[in-house]
């Protein structure tokens, strides 16, 4: 019961230099993410070390999950691994730029984990860097070989420029 990403830091804050390891597994729907890149029950593993400083708590470690999508060129469904490194500062009074808040005795990792997922999963995935995509004429998957459609002829207006490029003296 309770949000596993909510960490009580009273003990940590008592002395600076204190460390604590946290390893929790949550699901994407517990992060309030609604995005086609994840099924709601996709697992997310969070493994971080907290270390108290004089003016805050440093959170360092990694967030691991997977994502899903369709290749933007050939439209095949694909999945990928997500392995995001985190290094963030939590503060009672946010004096540093882009630090997260410590509220009361609690530090909430949710926002940080959510940001890693949304930023690190590709928005425009491709199944592989040299995916040939679909033929614009017949829709065949060109990864399976040429489809036989004729290559579109070059625009004649540019052909004249090509001649000029080859022999600028003419």
Q: Which is nearer to Zn ion, 36 or 77 (CB)?
A: 77
Q: Is 73 in the site for Zn ion (CB under 5 A)?
A: yes
Q: Which is nearer to Zn ion, 37 or 73 (CB)?
A: 73
Q: Is 137 in the site for Zn ion (CB under 5 A)?
A: yes
Q: Report the nearest approach of Zn ion to the CB of residue 133 (Å).
A: 7
Q: At 113, give phi and psi (nearest 5°).
A: -65, -45
**Residue closest to 89 by CA, chosen among 109, 105, 104:** 109
Q: Which is nearer to Zn ion, 149 or 161 (CB)?
A: 149
Q: In this structure, what token pair is assigned to residue 30?
A: 């517990």
Cα dihedral across residues 37, 84, 32, 46: positive or negative: positive
Q: Is 79 in the site for Zn ion (CB under 5 A)?
A: no
Q: Which is nearer to Zn ion, 54 or 124 (CB)?
A: 124
**Residue closest to 113 by CA, chosen among 23, 39, 20, 19:** 23
Q: Report the nearest approach of Zn ion to the CB of residue 146 (Å).
A: 8
Question: Degrees (nearest 5) of the Cα angle 131, 132, 137?
Answer: 145
Instruction: List all residues 6 or more positions away from 77 whose beta carbon is below 8 Å from its beta carbon.
Output: 68, 69, 70, 71
126 within 8 A of 73, measured Cβ to Cβ: yes
Task: Pick from 125, 131, 134, 141 the residue near Zn ion by CB under 5 A.
Answer: 131
Q: Report the nearest approach of Zn ion to the CB of residue 151 (Å).
A: 10
Q: Is 119 in the site for Zn ion (CB under 5 A)?
A: no
Task: Pick from 6, 96, 138, 161 the residue near Zn ion by CB under 5 A.
Answer: 138
Contacting residues toward Zn ion, per CB under 5 A: 71, 73-74, 127, 131, 135, 137-138, 140, 147, 149
């Amino acid at each position: 019961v309770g949000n596993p990403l909510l960490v009580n830091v009273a003990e940590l804050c008592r002395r600076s230099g204190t460390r604590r390891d946290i390893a929790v597994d949550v699901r994407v729907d517990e992060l309030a993410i609604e995005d086609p890149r994840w099924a709601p029950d996709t697992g997310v593993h969070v493994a971080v070390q907290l270390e108290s400083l004089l003016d805050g708590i440093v959170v360092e470690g990694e967030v691991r999950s997977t994502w899903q999508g369709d290749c933007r060129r050939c439209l095949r469904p694909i999945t990928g691994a997500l392995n995001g490194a985190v290094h963030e500062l939590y503060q009672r009074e946010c004096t540093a730029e882009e630090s997260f808040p410590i509220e009361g005795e609690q530090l909430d990792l949710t926002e940080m984990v959510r940001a890693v997922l949304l930023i690190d999963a590709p928005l425009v995935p491709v199944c592989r860097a040299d995916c040939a995509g679909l033929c614009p004429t017949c829709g065949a998957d060109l990864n399976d070989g040429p489809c036989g459609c004729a290559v579109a002829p070059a625009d004649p207006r540019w052909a004249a420029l090509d001649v000029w490029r080859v022999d600028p003296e003419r």
